Structure 1
Amino acid sequence: MSAEHHVIDLVENDPQPARLTASRPWNVRLVAAFAVGVVLGGAGVGVLRSSRVERQRNAAVSLVAFPVSSGSLGADTDVVQMDGQLAVINAGPAPITVKSATGQRPGVQVQDTGQSRLVRPGGTTWISVKLRIECALAFGSEPLSIRFSVETADRQVREVSYPVAVAGSAWHQGAERPCTILADLARRHGQR
């Protein structure tokens, strides 16, 4: 055998001389194609996972709300109507737009004034509200559940609720004096 042959032919009956097989370049190409497929597949899974995490982040809503101010508008019998403000803190990871805020329980009704507010993550906004407070019922210990309509970063509108303490709040302090005056008037009228 000559030195140029790389494969030893073990079959003695084969009339053709031994040749170098061409399978080696194909093996390298197949391994390279497989490696490229693995890399691209891994990158694709990473992009999909990242996209899913981003969608979940944009859809998340987490907020905190509490009364911050009030101003008396008027009173009738034992009902005080006031303007007020509600502070809303975006505790979520993405910006939100607060579209509306409403709440009702015995003795208290809250309705926003119709202005949408954009709130960045970690940011605070103040929402103007109209309050209707029945002096005899409003200041119990149970919180008022405020329902918010919120547009998330993915342009979806979601409804979320947050319990707001009315007793001891700025709204309570703003209603105390008018409620005291109404109670005094009711006592005077009751004595006659």
Structure 2
Amino acid sequence: MSGRRDVIDLDESDLDEGGREPTAAAGVAADRDPSGQRRNVRLVAALLAGVVLGGVGVNELRDSREQRQRNASVSLVAFPASGSGGGSDVAGVLQMDARLAVVNAGPAPITLRAVTGRGPGVVLRDTGQSRLVRPGGVEWIGVKLRLECATAFGSEPLVVRFSVETADRRTREATYPVAMRDSVWHRGAEVPCEHLG
């Protein structure tokens, strides 16, 4: 054992044997390198772009879902519009040509494909013509009525069924209760029903 002691010189501890900085210290110095800063700026820019695009994507998805819901919704209002006296092939039963007013109360255009109804003493069917009804618009649909004079105009409404093609090209069903008592149809049937009675 020699009497020589190993002494660490603190001033030179940051340099290796070749006089270069060790790798840990070199990593700190590399961060100050302009190419490393550019890499960090690009990374932050990519992250921000992702956040912005993600937010836009979520808004687009929400808007698309709301648009699909609007296109799929059906809201109709219907009421008797006109009716003229008709004939009869059975005692006490009046067959009448009439019109049904249909209002599109929904947010998107619809196409009426079929209109039918059945209630106490009443059968209703359309004349087979499809009609486009815009939002807030009204269409007068030609219908054929078969009315049993004794029961057709009671207190119960006639439930009218609509087969509708919505803006998303799907067929949906909707119903609306149409009041028969004191309607235009009731007034139009009074005199013919008296003759049939």
**TM-score range for the pair, normalised by the shorter chain length:** 0.7 to 0.9
8 Å contact 2:160–2:178 — kept in the other structure? Answer: yes
Query: Could you tell me how far apart the structure 1 residues matched to 2:184 and 2:81 are?
Result: 6
Query: Could you tell me how far apart the structure 1 residues matched to 2:185 and 2:13 are?
Result: 101
Confirm whether residue 80 of structure 1 aligns to residue 73 of structure 2: no
Confirm whether residue 119 of structure 1 aligns to residue 133 of structure 2: yes
Query: Could you tell me how far apart the structure 2 residues matched to 1:106 and 1:64 are?
Result: 21
Query: Could you tell me how far apart the structure 2 residues matched to 1:10 and 1:103 are?
Result: 100
**One-letter amino acid matched to 1:12:** D
Query: Could you tell me how far apart the structure 2 residues matched to 1:66 and 1:92 are?
Result: 16
Q: Which has the larger radius of gyration?
A: 2
Runs of 4+ in 1 over 3 A off after TM superposition: 17-20
Distance 1:10 1:120, change over 3 A: farther
Give me the TM-score of the superposition, normalised by structure 1.
0.86
Aligned position for 1:12: 14
Give me the TM-score of the superposition, normalised by structure 2.
0.84
Aligned position for 2:194: 180
Confirm whether residue 36 of structure 1 aligns to residue 49 of structure 2: yes
**One-letter amino acid matched to 2:172:** R
Unaligned runs of 5+ in 1: 1-8, 184-192
**One-letter amino acid matched to 2:65:** R
Aligned residues: 175
Aligned position for 2:108: 94
Following TM superposition, by how much is the alpha carbon of 1:182 offset from its aligned partner in structure 2, in angstroms?
Answer: 2.0
Residue aligned with 1:53, SS: helix
Range that drifts further, 158-167 or 39-48: 39-48
Query: Could you tell me how far apart the structure 2 residues matched to 1:118 and 1:85 are?
Result: 16
Match of 2:169 among 155, 168, 172: 155
8 Å contact 2:86–2:192 — kept in the other structure? Answer: no
Superposed CA RMSD: 1.8
**One-letter amino acid matched to 1:170:** V
Unaligned runs of 5+ in 2: 1-10
**One-letter amino acid matched to 2:143:** V
**One-letter amino acid matched to 1:130:** K
Aligned position for 2:3: none
Aligned position for 1:109: 123
